[in-house]
Structure 1
Amino acid sequence: MTTRESLLTTQGKIFQPPTSTGMADVLKSLNLLETLKESIDNNKLSDVKDAVEDLLISRINLAVLGDREDRKTTLINSLSGLGPEDEGAAPSPSPVAPEELASYPNPKHPDFRLWDLPAVPSATPFEPEGYLERVKFFRYNAVLMTFTQTPHPNTVKVFLEARSSQRQIVYFILLATDTDTEKGLEEKRKASMETLKSEGVAHLKVYLVRPSTLEKFDFPDLLEDMGRDLPEIRANALLLALPTLTPTLVTQKKDAFKALVWAAASLSGGVSAIPVPFVASMVDSSVAMRILTKAQLSLCLDNESVERLARQRGIEPTRLKGLRTCELSVEVTKGEVKKRLAAAEKELATVSSKLVEMAMPRHARSVSRSFAAMLQALNGAIDEMAADAEKVVAVALGEGK
């Protein structure tokens, strides 16, 4: 297995917050520390570059299966952070023929694509293999099987057929309305579990999800399970593309970007060893711009995302916009990025020498200056942007209660 493959095939959770031991834990969760150190030590900078590219651009296809009705459409749009009036949103009623597929790429994260799969036919006899082939079931990284009462037996047959392949990640989702009572929802969940059990499905969860407010009910648990079930690079792509629904998601996104920053800083340190003037600085600012731009969009700090969130939660947009105190939260500019990199160069004395020694191979410590500067500049920026996102989410959730 190549170094790059070892970076991308690890199974793992959606990123958990680091403990007191700091960045080493974040990197350990990504399986980057040892592989990147090995790559740099062996002068395999192309492997490090590929790893950074794959963390920045990683495709994920998420399918939502079920009847085409308002709750399912709302779920698809909420997963992209969109309202029904936003450009790129799934329309309701759907103009797509009942038996056809519909695709909805995320406007801000084109590597995240949502698929609207038609409901499983209720006719008998029913051959699940035909349905799986018609909707191209196995090309999706995960499938959400939605229903509003109990899953139809034919849907369960599709699940069992897909599960038998041992290469498909499928979840049952009970969609709630804003008017459903807690008692009524639990009764529906219980009936759903009994239906699944009678059809031969054991030890399976039914996730209760309210499409209009995903932070409620079981959606956070669903995300945690998806992070564990998906290959790590796909879990990372899903995490970065989802809207900032909860403070926990903001923290997880921050930690994911810090791991990406470490990889980019390692690349910077390696490039600095090449005796070509200005090469490192050009690479640093270019990669830093890409990382911070993606972080701004992932944390939903750009003007369009903040205005959309304010509209959805009935808040004056200027109130949420005013919570952004970091310049990079408002706009990622080359001038601001270069200024931060230059400032970090002057403040290298504040960087722990232990961190540099841990991160860089012995023969490369002479080029650790570039590594440390980029690490300090970008980590500081990510911390500030995440703090802004936490404030925005807190106010939005508070107003939405």
Structure 2
Amino acid sequence: MADVLKSLNLLETLKESMEKNNISDIRDAMEDMLISRINIAVAGDRSAEKASFINSLRGLGQNDEGAAYVPPSAAPEELAVFPNPKHPDFRLWDLPSIPSNSCFEAEKYIERFKILRYNAVIITFTESPSVNSVAVWREARSLQKETVYFVLLASMKDTEKTLEMKKIASLEVLKAEGVPLPKVFLVYPSALEKLDFSKFLEVMRGDLPEIRAHALLLALPAFSNSLIHQKKDAFKALVWAAASLSGGVSAIPVPLVASMVDATVALRILMKAQISLCLDDDSLLRLARQRGLDPSRLKGLRTCALSVEVSKSEVKRRLAEAEKETNTASKRLVELAMPRHARSVSRSFMVMLQALNTAIDDMGADAEKVVAMVTDGSPF
């Protein structure tokens, strides 16, 4: 798989790919982002906090269909997999508890549960990390697995003071076990907008390959304005890829054919955006149930038609509107983004760019309103 997405600023990358006629590279990158394929392992004792954490990462509450629960259905020594109901290629793997006995061998645990195959491994605990969990971390790092993290899960009985004490104690354990520059992220399992999860996400995304970082971002529930802004940026990167493909397929203009292709691609991107921003009916119903709100209040916040339903007619309407409204500024943007020989086929590029970016902004605004109501306007 060609990784053409090195950063969210795709102007130079797309220009280079188009100059080399590497349309397949751009198409591969776009497909990979739309699929959101990523596998994350969650190690640690199978507690209520761990189950809640796994559920929250998938936008589920403990009473939702498909939720992880305690006691788990899997045997203590078996792993369990929990796909995201809206993004089935985002899978969370619940690894069995790391044994506490003195004869524990970290390399055998890593080999048995295929630790190296996951994109990231999160070692969770509710008090402090065990010596054996640190051994797993150390062995994984020795095998060049960099994306392994320690997460302290807060429980309902914890207070701000007890959490701070636990975090300090956990760091001391890691230091005593020889972990250089130890990091412990404090996470409230059922409310990811609180504590250190945003910081943890930023670190993890920085460690992952760009495509996997995008996959993780797009599959997580939209729980804060900051995350919504990041999702919008990621979708606009995806729009650049789609618009460049649109320009490519329009190189030999055939009446109606290019616009049909544009509408199909645009439909897929905006359907993904609606789900990623948690604006679809199912996501809002679950969110309302989890937060004790009237679902109709959340649904009523959607003022963009695409937030309610991503229909082909609405997508085509927006593409037609963008074609009429393409202005000088947009043309100048295309001149910067497109190689000289491709500017003659830039009309479709401009239309896709303008129509989809405006749609992403409109849907993002609705998502921000939902977050504000759910969190009662609290800062992030």
TM range (shorter): over 0.9
Match of 1:14 in 2: none
Match of 1:322 in 2: 300
Cα distance, 1:399–1:356 mapped onto 2, change above 3 Å: closer
Quote the Cα distance in structure 1 between the aligned partners of 2:327 and 2:10: 26
SS where residue 61 of structure 1 aligns? strand
Normalising by the residue count of structure 2, what TM-score does the alignment of the two structures yield? 0.96
Match of 1:374 in 2: 352
Normalising by the residue count of structure 1, what TM-score does the alignment of the two structures yield? 0.91
Match of 2:243 in 1: 265
| Contact in 1 for aligned 2:3/2:25 (Cα 8 Å) | no
SS where residue 306 of structure 1 aligns? helix
Matched, 1:5 2:2: yes
Quote the Cα distance in structure 1 between the aligned partners of 2:285 and 2:223: 15
- What number of residue pairs does the alignment pair up? 379
Deviation at 1:233, TM superposition (A): 0.7
SS where residue 124 of structure 2 aligns? strand
Match of 2:176 in 1: 198
Matched, 1:33 2:11: yes
Match of 1:353 in 2: 331
Candidates 55, 78, 95, aligned match of 2:33: 55
Match of 1:19 in 2: none
Cα distance, 1:66–1:173 mapped onto 2, change above 3 Å: same
Identity of aligned residues (%): 67
Cα distance, 1:386–1:97 mapped onto 2, change above 3 Å: same
Quote the Cα distance in structure 1 between the aligned partners of 2:132 and 2:289: 39
Matches for 1:86-235 after TM superposition, within 5 Å: 86-235=64-213
Q: Deviations over 1:28-47 (max 9, x none)?
A: x3363223212222333222
Cα distance, 1:49–1:102 mapped onto 2, change above 3 Å: same
SS where residue 186 of structure 2 aligns? strand
Q: Deviations over 1:45-100 (max 9, x none)?
A: 22222221122124110111011110100000000010112122112210111110
Matched, 1:300 2:285: no
Quote the Cα distance in structure 2 between the aligned partners of 1:389 and 1:58: 20
Matches for 1:271-290 after TM superposition, within 5 Å: 271-290=249-268
Candidates 357, 366, 369, aligned match of 1:391: 369
| Contact in 2 for aligned 1:209/1:217 (Cα 8 Å) | yes
| Contact in 2 for aligned 1:150/1:191 (Cα 8 Å) | yes
Deviation at 1:134, TM superposition (A): 1.1
Deviation at 1:399, TM superposition (A): 7.4
| Contact in 1 for aligned 2:33/2:214 (Cα 8 Å) | yes
Deviation at 1:204, TM superposition (A): 1.2
Quote the Cα distance in structure 1 between the aligned partners of 2:26 and 2:174: 46
| Contact in 2 for aligned 1:129/1:158 (Cα 8 Å) | yes
| Structure 1 alignment gaps of length 5 or more | 11-28
Cα distance, 1:400–1:117 mapped onto 2, change above 3 Å: farther
Deviation at 1:303, TM superposition (A): 0.5
Quote the Cα distance in structure 2 between the aligned partners of 1:31 and 1:320: 33
| Contact in 1 for aligned 2:306/2:314 (Cα 8 Å) | yes
Cα distance, 1:380–1:318 mapped onto 2, change above 3 Å: same
Candidates 48, 55, 63, aligned match of 1:77: 55
Quote the Cα distance in structure 2 between the aligned partners of 1:109 and 1:130: 32
| Contact in 2 for aligned 1:141/1:168 (Cα 8 Å) | no
Q: Given residue 299 of structure 1, which amino acid in structure 2 is its aligned partner? A: L
Cα distance, 1:380–1:350 mapped onto 2, change above 3 Å: farther
Quote the Cα distance in structure 2 between the aligned partners of 1:316 and 1:246: 20
Deviation at 1:351, TM superposition (A): 4.3
Quote the Cα distance in structure 1 between the aligned partners of 2:19 and 2:199: 40
The runs of at least 4 aligned residues of structure 1 exceeding 6 Å deviation read: none
Q: Deviations over 1:239-295 (max 9, x none)?
A: 000001111000000111011111111111111112433221111001000000000
SS where residue 207 of structure 1 aligns? strand
Candidates 358, 364, 369, aligned match of 2:342: 364
